[in-house]
Amino acid sequence: MRGSDFLQLDPEPVGRGARTEWLTLRLRTAILDGALGIGSRLPSSRVLAEDLGFSRGTVAEAYRRLTEEGLIAGSAGAGTTVVAAGLLSARAAGRSAAASAAAPAATPAGAPAGRSDAWVEVPGASHDAVPSSLPHADVIDVATGLPDLAAFPRGAWLRAEREVLATATARQLGYAPPEGTVELRHELSGWLARSRGVVAQPDRIIVTGGVTGALSLVAQLLRDDRSVPIAVEDPCAEGSRRILRHWLGEVTPVAVDRDGIEVRRLSASGARAVLVTPAHQYPTGVVLSPERRREIVAWARDGGNLVIEDDYDAEYRYDRRPVRAVQPLAPDAVAYASSLSKTLAPALRLGWLVAPEHLHPRLVELRWAIDLGSPALPQLTLAHLLRSGALERHLRSMRVRHRARRDAALVALREHLPGCSVVGIAAGLHLVIELADGVDDERIAADARAEGVLVQPLGRHFAGVGRPGLVISYAGNHPARVQRAIEVLAHVIHRRGGTLAAS
Amino acid sequence: MRGSDFLQLDPEPVGRGARTEWLTLRLRTAILDGALGIGSRLPSSRVLAEDLGFSRGTVAEAYRRLTEEGLIAGSAGAGTTVVAAGLLSARAAGRSAAASAAAPAATPAGAPAGRSDAWVEVPGASHDAVPSSLPHADVIDVATGLPDLAAFPRGAWLRAEREVLATATARQLGYAPPEGTVELRHELSGWLARSRGVVAQPDRIIVTGGVTGALSLVAQLLRDDRSVPIAVEDPCAEGSRRILRHWLGEVTPVAVDRDGIEVRRLSASGARAVLVTPAHQYPTGVVLSPERRREIVAWARDGGNLVIEDDYDAEYRYDRRPVRAVQPLAPDAVAYASSLSKTLAPALRLGWLVAPEHLHPRLVELRWAIDLGSPALPQLTLAHLLRSGALERHLRSMRVRHRARRDAALVALREHLPGCSVVGIAAGLHLVIELADGVDDERIAADARAEGVLVQPLGRHFAGVGRPGLVISYAGNHPARVQRAIEVLAHVIHRRGGTLAAS
């Protein structure tokens, strides 16, 4: 009698050609429902195949699909286990833990209160939300602001790390200075000068946990100094706003127009600090104009205020001349933060901060007090990649790759949404489709999700009502999938009445 | 005419057999004096050999020695650069930067104010100080609380990381939950239960930047709650005290006797929280007795107080039965922190916190706000090592290695300091030699340094005057070097009048 104790699976009614689909569906359902919680061990494919009377290849294929979906993970010698949870089990966990942030991995801490939708924030440098479950096997995710992670330079990274470990001295494997290893700060000093025009000696660089780590350090200092309020662009990355609100309470939104943040409104706001994304405004993509740059530097110097420059994906420019950072105009008034999360991967949490000299010592002390500084080994590995030129080669190939995806998005937009207003296409990893006033972009995004496409509504990045639109992150998807996503979005938009903004 | 432009080196007077020594000395002097600052590039060995008329092997040997000393580092394709600075150049940098903490790597932030000695603190979980310069080529360092870093399992680590990268999904390379990857928390749950008896489901573990990161998180929460004062053991690790003082202002020292912290004094102190090292008190090495464990749990529960358990090197026990953590006695009242910095390397900054349920959500939110959480890739790699059993195998071999070094220390003590009182030998990575009252252990340490041995005075770990002694960290040195260090220390002690405590 065929059948498994595991999940009480009964294969009798299943047609031979449908076995893989059936098994994949049964397992996926059990995981998303919570019947198989995180950490549950699945039987080996050999054992389950025997129990069900299936070929081992059938079971292995089902496991492979679920691994691709990020629901399970296997390793030689330790078996296959469930590594993610679905929305239902996450919600149940959430209720039982009294809205604790200890819900399983699929609902990270910081989920916006009151949002019953499956949208979950991955705050901070990611700038975008990640859905808490995968209702379809073939969901296209243009919501998450990730680079093409399939292109992470695994070989180059491992070779560099091997070289580092082969030559590392005991000092290098011990405790690095809290501001970061001298090896990486030395390379970054040159890299930042070459790539962004940033002025920074190695001893003025602080290695942080990504851009968010840098932002958090500065915010804590502002809090200690009572240098409030802090202004943010409106719209701005919701994750950044939430980080700043954690440390500083409320933030002051200042409107952004085609030239970037409106510095006159900033001056009138009474803010003592401001967070800006000058090279490629998030999410609108505009570049802070030369005049606005002069104005914001004057505002900072005249008032003893601080400009925090988030240079998050400035490496990716396609159709325009390079745009220098603001920092070199006024290193005494600008705290510059960037990372390589968009070029390597967020999994490395490698970022840096170049702060005005008068703030530097206190920032280093704070970095020390938080956890003695970032891990040395990834820093040494990155330093190696910078020194050898491998990182710059990788960046060039990523730029080509991302450009192709951007171009595919534009082709699809011309075909499926002709005449729509698109912004931010000259650089970065995302673009914005503007929708007509009054359109409910949250509803459009929900409709899209039902059709298997995850996209960010623009409106949630505004402090107030804002303007409706869709933020399409194209970099993380194969060009054909980007185009398919746009086709679906166009369909959804038209179904709601062709609600595009005049371009 | 032989001679290099580089440093204006003139080899003419140098005897053939003295070339390596001469070049090593000239380069070392230039680095320690600051003539060659951090980041300065050295000529390739080929070029310098040609200029000086030396064999290439001579120059390569000089470079190798300086690399061993941690002063320079080279990599294929990028040349050799200076990576550390000496005390003189560090002091000069310190003065010019107005006591800024931006001094070169050799003087990390947090250097104790007013200390003119070369001792520089590497605070927090390291528990020990690191000298800012290396006055001799052959200094024996028994001051720094590091494990045997030469034994870092480079091959196993790289293999595990390769496997992780080969199978990692996009989700795993993206943003991990702030509390840490589910993969690592799952493995840690089992590991902590097996190795320490700690009670922790995966969703109650928070991955932090080492034990210091865990301590810092809890301290920030206590500060926000005004749950002060916090008590510390007296003596305790100076680094831990400094971290707590950063976040909480003053700390309340509570004496330690042969059974561990004196809980009656703790009760009388009015403290609302306490940091303890129950498995192997730092620095005395005593174990918190069963009765004291019951008392401290009662103190916590009766008063709604918090015990913070720093389980920093509990894996290393030699002569005694395993000692369970305190946490399982009262998971509701104990915040447990440990790491694998003493088994792998501090370069990884991998630690964890298991906190009482009522504190967990706020700690996760704080972890998020700091920098979105620890890097995922090292976490996934460690999870792999735990899952495959490689970490436990490595730990067993490290235990054998460290035990041999401890035994060598004991042999040397019996030979050179017979009758001295030694504590803390049953476990851990260090032992303490107690000196007679009134002895100036700082002076003994300074004398030892002049003789090429770096050792920590015990007195600086006390809040007040304390008792004099020497903390000898044996784990990071070959047994013969440990013995040589003890021989030198004995010589120094006897020169000062045979000033040992009665044992």
Higher-pLDDT residue of A345, A88: A345
List, in order, residues 6 or more apart from A310 with CB less than 8 Å away.
Answer: A211, A215, A240, A275, A276, A277, A282, A337, A338
Question: Between A38, A370, A375, which is nearest B378 by CB?
Answer: A375
Chain B residues whose beta carbon lies within 8 Å of the beta carbon of residue A237: none
CA–CA dist A25, A33 (Å, integer): 12
How close, in Å, is residue A437 to chain B by CA atoms? 33
Cβ-based contacts of A186 with chain B (< 8 Å):
38-39, 81
Query: Distances from the Cα of B231 to the Cαs of A352, A437, B127, B266, B406, in angstroms?
Result: 35, 59, 17, 7, 31
Residues of A within 8 A of B370 (CB-CB) are 209, 213, 216, 370
Task: Please indicate whether, in this complex, the C-beta atoms of B388 and A75 are within 8 angstroms of each other.
Answer: yes
Q: Which residue of A has its CA nearest to B168?
A: A73
Q: Which two tokens stand for residue A487?
A: 């086709």
Asked if B368 and A67 come within 8 Å (Cβ–Cβ), the reply is no
For residue A94, the model assigns a pLDDT of 39
Q: At what angle do helices A154-167 and A390-416 cross, to 10 degrees?
A: 160
What's the pLDDT at A99? 32
Q: Do B109 and A361 touch (CB under 8 A)?
A: yes
Task: With CB atoms and an 8 Å threshold, state whether B368 touches A152.
Answer: no
User: How confident is the model at residue B115, as a pLDDT?
Assistant: 27
Residue A10 has pLDDT above 50, yes or no: yes
Does A171 contact B70 at a Cβ distance shorter than 8 Å?
A: yes
Q: Judge whether A471 and A488 are in contact, CB under 8 Å.
A: no
- Spatial CB neighbours of B226, under 8 Å, sequence gap ≥ 6: none
Band (pLDDT 50/70/90 cuts) for residue A133 is very low
- Give the pLDDT confidence score for residue A340 in this predicted structure: 86
| pLDDT score at A137 | 55
Residue % of chain A over a pLDDT of 70: 85
DSSP B418: T
Of the candidates A76, A75, A79, A71, the residue with the CA atom closest to the CA atom of residue A36: A71
This prediction has a pTM of: 0.75
Closest chain B residue to A359 measured between Cα atoms? B100
| ipTM of the complex as predicted | 0.75
Which chain B residue has its CA at the smallest distance from A161's CA? B158
Residues of B in contact with A168 (CB under 8 A): 347
What tokens does A8 get?
Answer: 């009480």
Q: Which of A172, A173, A347 sits opposite B173 (nearest CB)?
A: A347
For residue B242, the SS3 value is helix
The pLDDT confidence band at residue A223, using thresholds 50, 70 and 90, is: very high
Do the Cβ atoms of B313 and B281 come closer than 8 Å?
A: no
Exposure class string for A206-235: b at 16+ Cβ within 10 A, else e: bbbbbbbbbbbbbbbbbbeeebbbbbbbbb
Alpha helices of B275-417 — where are they, by DSSP H? 290-303, 360-371, 376-388, 390-416
Contacts of B177 in chain A (CB under 8 A): 105, 108-109
Distance CA B360, CA B367 (A): 10
Cβ partners under 8 Å of residue A256, min gap 6: A233, A234, A235, A262, A281, A284, A286
| Residue that has been written with the tokens 């808490």 in this structure | A132
Cross-chain Cβ contact B84/A246 below 8 Å: no
Considering only CB atoms, A73 lies closest to which of B149, B183, B371, namely B183
Of all residues in chain B, the one with the smallest CA distance to A185 is B39
What is the set of domains in chain A, with CATH numbers?
6-82 (1.10.10.10), 127-146+393-495 (3.90.1150.10), 154-388 (3.40.640.10)
Copy the structure tokens of residue A300: 């900072």
Q: pLDDT tens, A307-321?
A: 999 998 777 877 777
CA dist., res. B192 & res. B386, Å (int):
11
> Has residue A142 got a pLDDT over 90?
yes
**Backbone dihedral angles phi then psi of residue B373, each to the nearest 5 degrees:** 115, 170
Of B110, B177, B182, the CB nearest to A109: B177
Q: Please tell me whether residue A190 adopts helix, strand or coil conformation.
A: helix
Q: What is the pLDDT of residue A431?
A: 92
Using the beta-carbon criterion (under 8 Å), do B377 and A348 form an inter-chain contact? yes
Closest CA to A178 of B85, B34, B124: B124
Residues from chain B that touch A122, judged by Cβ atoms under 8 A, are 174-175, 372
CA-CA distance, B106 to A201, in Å (whole number)? 16
How far A446 CA lies from chain B's nearest CA (Å)?
22
For residue B351, the chain A residue with the least C-alpha distance is: A371
The pLDDT, as a whole number, for residue A419 is: 85
Q: What is the rounded distance in angstroms from the CA atom of residue B182 to the CA atom of residue B171?
A: 12
Q: Which of B67, B122, B388 sits opposite A175 (nearest CB)?
A: B122
* pLDDT tens sequence for chain B (503 residues): 577 777 767 787 777 777 887 788 778 767 765 667 677 778 888 888 888 888 888 898 888 878 766 678 876 666 788 876 654 444 444 333 333 333 333 333 333 333 222 222 333 333 333 333 434 457 899 998 877 777 889 999 999 999 999 888 877 888 789 999 999 999 999 999 999 999 999 999 999 999 999 999 999 999 999 888 999 999 999 899 999 999 999 999 999 999 999 999 999 999 999 999 999 999 999 999 999 999 999 999 999 999 999 998 777 877 777 789 999 999 999 999 999 887 788 889 999 999 999 999 999 999 999 999 999 999 999 999 999 999 999 988 888 889 999 999 999 999 999 988 998 888 888 999 999 888 899 999 999 999 999 999 999 899 887 899 999 999 888 999 999 999 999 999 998 876 677 55
Q: Nearest CB to A163: which of B67, B75, B384?
A: B75
What is the spatial distance between Cα A36 and Cα B470, in angstroms, rounded to a whole number?
Answer: 54
Over the stretch A23-72, which tens digit does the pLDDT of each residue have?
Answer: 887 787 677 656 676 777 788 888 888 888 888 888 988 888 787 766 78
Sequence letter at residue A298? A
Q: How confident is the model at residue B189, as a pLDDT?
A: 96
Tokens of B65: 């020695």
CA distances from B60 to B39, B56, B260 (A): 19, 6, 52
Position A122 scores a pLDDT of 31
CA distance B237 to B428: 14
From chain B, the residues in CB contact with A103 under 8 A are 203
- The C-alpha atoms of residue A230 and residue B207 are separated, in whole angstroms, by 30
Ordered strands of the B456-457 beta sheet: B421-423, B430-434, B469-473, B456-457
Percent of chain A with pLDDT strictly greater than 90: 53
pLDDT of A409 reads 95
* pLDDT tens digits, one per residue of A62-120: 888 787 766 788 766 667 888 766 544 443 343 333 333 333 333 333 333 332 222 22
Do the chains contact at A130 and B157, CB–CB below 8 Å?
no
In the three-class reduction of DSSP (H, G, I as helix; E, B as strand; rest coil), residue B472 is classed as strand
Report the candidate in B126, B458, B429 with the shortest Cα–Cα distance to residue B280: B429
Give CA–CA dist B189/B383, Å, rounded.
11
Of B39, B189, B348, the CB nearest to A375: B348
In angstroms, the CA A313 to CA A339 distance is 8
pLDDT at A132: 38
| Residue B108 distance to chain A (closest CA, Å) | 5
| CB-closest option in B202, B247, B347 to A174 | B347
**Mutate which of B173, B353, B371 to test chain A, going by most A C-beta atoms within 10 A?**
B371
Residues of chain B with C-beta less than 8 angstroms from the C-beta of A124: 371-372
- Give B255-258 contacts, CB < 8 A, sequence gap 24+: B256/B281, B256/B284, B256/B286, B257/B286, B258/B286
Query: What is the rounded distance in angstroms from the CA atom of residue A478 to the CA atom of residue A68?
Result: 15
Q: Which residues of A touch B36 (CB under 8 A)?
A: none
Measure CA of the first residue to CA of the last residue in chain B; give whole Å: 66
Residues of A in contact with B124 (CB under 8 A): 368, 371-372
Rounded to an integer, the average pLDDT of A218-247 is 94
- Count how many pairs of residues, chain A against chain B, have C-beta atoms within 8 Å: 314
What value does the mean pLDDT of chain A take?
Answer: 84
Dist CA B45 CA A144 (whole Å): 49
Q: Where are the beta strands (DSSP E) in A68-114?
A: 72-75, 79-82
DSSP-H helix ranges across B148-272: 154-167, 170-173, 182-196, 210-225, 238-248, 263-269
Best-predicted range by mean pLDDT (A131-135, A325-329, B68-72): A325-329
Residue of B nearest to A99 (CA): B361
Measured in angstroms, the CA of A177 and the nearest CA of chain B are apart by 5
| Helix/strand number for chain B, H first, E second | 16, 19
